[in-house]
Structure 1
Amino acid sequence: MARTGRRPGNQDTREAILRSARDAFADRGFDNASIRQIATGAGVDPALVHHYFGTKEQLFLATVEAPFDPVSLLPQVLDGDLEELPNRLVSTFVRIWDDPVTGAAAVALLRSGLQHDWSARMLREFLTTQILRRVLGQLDLDPAEAPMRGSLVAAQMIGMAMIRYVLKLEPLAGAAPEVVVASLAPTIRRYLLDPLPVP
């Protein structure tokens, strides 16, 4: 009986799917890449992609080696008083980066994004589609303003991560988490909830 050319479910299949996913997400972005396209690139049936990785979101997180799953963390950030959202967001961010395991993975992802074009694209997709979109979607924002607000929030958070966790500039590097949250949350609040400057 002739073989169909489909890759069997062996130990190489997972890596073949990841290679195809890396290409697809880099070329088309998270939204435009499909499981079917990724499966075709890997030479497997789409059902096998779901078998190994579950959803497209989970495949994307595996592809970028994300240090955490926003789907499991963001509900606790988004649930509660809107005025306290910036505090919860920054507090969760600091907790992830302060953790020895997830923090080390987050630093590796950030360093990689600064050094490689592909990694930078994947980091942008991760921030935009997995985090900022979910946070901004909970707010009653002018759709024309949402991308700028998201970029400003990302600039503050990534800037803080660079100084505290990569460059380790004191006194921010050694500051207590509650000091970081109290210092950064008002700026995040302004970017998320206050009127933006009129251009």
Structure 2
Amino acid sequence: MSPRGRRPGGEDTRAAIIAAARAEFAQRGYDGTSLRGIAREAGVDAKLVHHYFDGKTELFAEVLAFPADPSELIERLVSVPRDELGEGLVRVFLSVWDNPVGRQRFAAMFAAAAANEEHARMVREFVGREIFVRLIERISNGDEVGEGSSVELRAALGAAQLIGMGVLRYVVKIPALADATVEEIVAILGPTLQQHLIPASS
């Protein structure tokens, strides 16, 4: 049950919000969770949630122990030339996860996703919607890059390629991929992601 009354701001408030967010995301998924619902679950005013976190994306990243702000990653990527975006996305992904702490967090995140369907659904929704769909929308510049289910499908396929690579590199640790250099992965995976993000006809 949610705590009764409103919790005043204090050093334990942020932790309470994170705990409530974890419960809400687990129950409702990323798309079905709202900041208002998290505030209600934590027993705080909704303004306090906004005080500690810029939005749902940042809060979800905190719940997952995501080592970077997805919004900042998007900003880095929109400055990359359009014809190099696939390679840029691989580089940014590896810059986040390709270190001892990042590898450990990635493995923990996707081990939990493999063991729990609700956790897997949260990760799918988050990566697909908050990273790939937002990136496709930001780089379109009004161009025809597809709409509706087309964008959703390309986002999902791009996420599958990138996350699948991460799982095999950091979790399963297939030797050829685990030992590959960043440049080797960028050269092979970049063009595939480029096609998902910006079809050749765009």
- Structure 1 length as normaliser, TM-score? 0.85
Match of 2:40 in 1: 40
What does residue 21 of structure 1 align with?
21
Normalising by structure 2, report the TM-score: 0.84
Give the Cα separation in 2 of the matches to 1:125 and 1:166: 21
Tell whether the 8 Å contact from 2:53 to 2:59 is kept in structure 1 after alignment. Answer: yes
- Where structure 1 has 5 or more consecutive residues not aligned to the other structure, the ranges are none
State whether residues 67 and 103 of structure 1, in contact with CA within 8 Å, keep that contact through their aligned partners in structure 2. Answer: no
1:71 maps to a residue whose letter is S
Matched, 1:52 2:26: no
User: How far does residue 88 in structure 1 lie from its aligned partner after superposition?
Assistant: 0.5
Within a 5 Å distance, the mapping from 1:3-152 to structure 2 comes to 5-137=5-137, 138-139=139-140, 140-143=144-147, 144-152=149-157
Q: 1:155 aligns with which of 160, 168, 171?
A: 160
Helix, strand or coil at the partner of 1:171: helix
Measured after TM superposition, the shift of residue 94 of structure 1 is 1.8
Gaps of 5+ in 2: none
Larger RCO: 1 or 2 (CA < 8 Å, sep 6+): 2
Separation of aligned partners in 2, 1:81 and 1:12? 44
Distance 1:61 1:168 in 2: 24
**2-side partners of 1:18 and 1:76: how far apart?**
27
Structure 2 residue corresponding to 1:174, chosen from 179, 183, 186: 179
Q: Distance in 1 between matches of 2:125 and 2:90?
A: 20
Shift of 1:27: 4.1
**1:172–1:31 Cα change, 3 Å:** closer
Report the CA distance between 1:59 and its aligned residue: 1.7
Instruction: Give the deviation of 1:13 after TM superposition.
Output: 2.7
In 2, the alpha carbon distance for the partners of 1:160 and 1:83 equals 22
**Counterpart in the other structure of 1:183:** 188
Alpha-carbon contact 1:87-1:185 (below 8 Å) kept: yes
Aligned length: 193
Q: Which amino acid in the other structure matches residue 83 of structure 2?
A: E
Residues 21-30 or 183-192, more deviating: 21-30
**Alpha-carbon RMSD:** 2.2
